[in-house]
Structure 1
Amino acid sequence: MAVHTAYRQILMLGMFFIILISCKDNFKEVQKIGISENEPIGVAENINLKYTDSGKVKAILKSPKMFDYSNRKFAYNEFTEGVNLELFEDGKKSVVVSDYAIIYNKTNIIDLQGNVKITTHSNDTLFAEQLYYDQEKEWLFTNKPVTFRTGSDLINGNGFDSNYKFTNAEVLEITGLITVNE
């Protein structure tokens, strides 16, 4: 019986030794995993995306580069070199341009930054440093300086609110109004 116990102890000690030898220092590999999670899951270049509905083109998105960070807890897509978006409704075209854009997937908020310009089919034009678009509410807003040209009026202010059709556009904190007679 004592021999059997001795063999058991030797076997256990041998298994412990094998396990100990097989363990490695994986700290550097763990660090690499952390780095890769911070990198985009994909990169798209020279984007020319056409969105259609019922056989009609509804939107055309063009951008030199997009980074896809959908591997993050708070997923987003980043357009570091700007966007040019053409929107079509009832045969009429509106255009959105910015130097930078980021789309937050969970909140459906689009953040446009740098030389933001929206020109509607009726030739109303909004110029802003930064503009947000809530895709669910179809609402545009900012608290940054804007210039809004509508009809013969050129309105400057600090903030803007509107639906996406600009039918109830409002410049907030108006700092200047110029009416141009044509």
Structure 2
Amino acid sequence: MDKTFKYILLNIVTVFAVTLFFSCTNSLKEVQSIGVSKGGPASIAENINTKYTDSGKLTSVLVSPKMFDYSNREFAFYEFPEGVNLTLYDKDNNKSTVVSDYAIVYNETDLIDLQGNVVLTTHANDTLFAEQLFYDQKTEWLFTNQPVKFRTSEYITDGNGFDSNKNFTNAQVLEVTGRIYIDE
């Protein structure tokens, strides 16, 4: 009887183990998503101070209180819900700055969307004020169709829309609604 009991117990344990083994059907993607809430960011970074270099030369500094990384989405992006402060350096080490209350960077399209109190100041002290400004990283082009104020050393222009290359050498306010000339 003792041998029969051990034999029955061994069979029960074996059946139970095999059942557990074959009932696990999680795919690799399901396992990788453990701990990542659906719709939530893949990661959150706080107090960012990132310096970008090219060939050992500082090209930009990005400062932001918070960044959400949504690279886990089909259309990946980075969100800066508390704004950004970006300092850019050109090849002659001239410094320009961009500040906004909110920003989002779309990975696939290389488009940056800056929103809320956007202020872009060039090294020549030309300043653009807008509520929204886009930057196309591929074409290195700035644009918006929203109201803007553009201040240079010669004039202040109000209008709807703005286009420029990244160096502001052909900056243009579209649909000018007013211009004030500045006397030195």
Which residue in 2 is equivalent to 1:72? 73
Q: Which deviations, in whole Å up to 9, do the C-alpha atoms of 1:33-74 show, x marking residues without a partner?
A: 7x8231100001000000112221110000000000000000
Letter in 1 for 2:147: P
Q: CA RMSD in A?
A: 2.3
Letter in 1 for 2:177: T
After TM superposition, give the deviation of residue 23 of structure 1 in Å: 7.1
Counterpart Cα distance in 2 of 1:56 and 1:134: 22
Which residue in 2 is equivalent to 1:154? 156
Letter in 1 for 2:149: T
Which residue in 2 is equivalent to 1:85? 86
Letter in 2 for 1:145: P
Match for 1:172 among 171, 174, 184?
A: 174
Letter in 2 for 1:179: Y
Q: Which deviations, in whole Å up to 9, do the C-alpha atoms of 1:97-137 show, x marking residues without a partner?
A: 00000000000000000000000000100000000000000
Q: Is the 8 A contact 1:98 1:115 kept in 2?
A: yes
Matched ranges for 1:21-40 at <5 A? 36-40=37-41
TM-score, with normalisation over the residues of structure 2?
0.80
Counterpart Cα distance in 2 of 1:39 and 1:107: 21
Counterpart Cα distance in 1 of 2:139 and 2:38: 32
Identity of aligned residues (%): 64
Task: Tell me how many residue pairs correspond in the alignment.
Answer: 159
Equivalent position SS for 2:38? helix
Equivalent position SS for 1:142? strand
Q: Is the 8 A contact 1:37 1:72 kept in 2?
A: no
Which residue in 2 is equivalent to 1:106? 108
Counterpart Cα distance in 1 of 2:109 and 2:56: 29
Which residue in 2 is equivalent to 1:58? 59
Q: Which runs of 4+ in 1 moved over 2 A?
A: none
Which residue in 2 is equivalent to 1:128? 130
Q: Structure 1 unaligned segments of length 5 or more: list them.
A: 1-14, 25-29
Q: Structure 2 unaligned segments of length 5 or more: list them.
A: 1-14, 25-29
Q: Is the 8 A contact 1:37 1:71 kept in 2?
A: no
Counterpart Cα distance in 2 of 1:77 and 1:54: 25
